Amino acid sequence: MNPTGMIFDLDGTLVDSLGEIAWAVNEARKSEQLVPLPQADYQPWVGRGLRHLIASMLGDENDPRIDRILKSVRAIYDAHAGERAALYEGIAEMLADLEQRQIPLSVLTNKPDGPAKGLIEQRFAPGTFRYVVGQRDGHPVKPDPAAALRIIDQAGGDPADWWFVGDMTVDIETAMAAGMVAVGVTWGIQSAEHNPQTLLDAGADLLIDHPSELIERIDAASANPARHSI
């Protein structure tokens, strides 16, 4: 049988947005008289929320500039969400196939909620995702499973029958904490901290190298429904 539902990470999983992230933060750095950083410098810092990224960039989680830069980046995102992001090859076809199978799809990201929804509106057809949940003040971010479990509760089903698809260890950790099938993708934002081996070490149930492989794995799971046969 098909998965009851699927939750996708956004940046590095559905869309190639590292350039957009680097551009937005570099623009915000100007207000603090900081020079721009190369895009590659941002790779190890993404995935655990914007505050974590900025604190990592500054090298001090108590740096008083964090809140000012955070506010500036959010404003930049709000004005330019999705302009510098593009779907990875094969994503559109994969989503179309999943839609034909009537598998409910959602997005859970540590990107701020407003820009996440703006990016989805720009790059995906209306109704592609049942729920889009980003980082909101006062709510825990991944790897806390609360948001994933809330999506499943609203959509219906057992978490064990839902798949979580993402490119970083934080996504695998979220899936495991929620009791979901953890699917790691290898085309995302890779670095020494984020690569196929770290996904496996974090507990990924399977890895895929191209979006089309997700469909193949669903077919395999349907033929043999035991969790670890995937």
Report pLDDT digits (tens) over 16-50.
988 999 999 999 999 999 999 999 999 889 888 89
In our burial notation (b when 16+ CB lie closer than 10 A, e otherwise), range 125-135 reads eeebbebbbbb
**Residue 225 — pLDDT band, cuts 50, 70, 90?**
low
Angle between helices 50-58 and 18-30 (to 10 degrees): 60
Is 186 in the same domain as 150?
Answer: yes
pTM above 0.85, yes or no: yes
Which of 80, 108, 123 marks a domain boundary?
80
Which of 80, 106, 124 marks a domain boundary?
80
In our burial notation (b when 16+ CB lie closer than 10 A, e otherwise), range 6-24 reads bbbbbbbbbbbbbebbbbb
Number of domains in the chain: 2
Beta strands in the chain (DSSP E): 5-8, 15-16, 86-87, 105-112, 131-135, 162-166, 181-185, 206-208
Q: Work out whether strand 105-112 and strand 131-135 pair parallel, antiparallel, or are unpaired.
A: parallel
Is 121 in the same domain as 180?
Answer: yes
Q: Work out whether strand 105-112 and strand 5-8 pair parallel, antiparallel, or are unpaired.
A: parallel
What span, in angstroms and rounded, lies between the C-alpha atoms of 91 and 78? 24
Is 154 in the same domain as 187?
Answer: yes
Is 112 in the same domain as 213?
Answer: yes
Q: How far is CA 148 from CA 6, 94, 122, 155, 194, in A?
A: 10, 21, 23, 11, 21
Report pLDDT digits (tens) over 57-101.
999 999 999 999 999 999 998 888 888 889 999 999 999 999 999
Which of 80, 102, 125 marks a domain boundary?
80
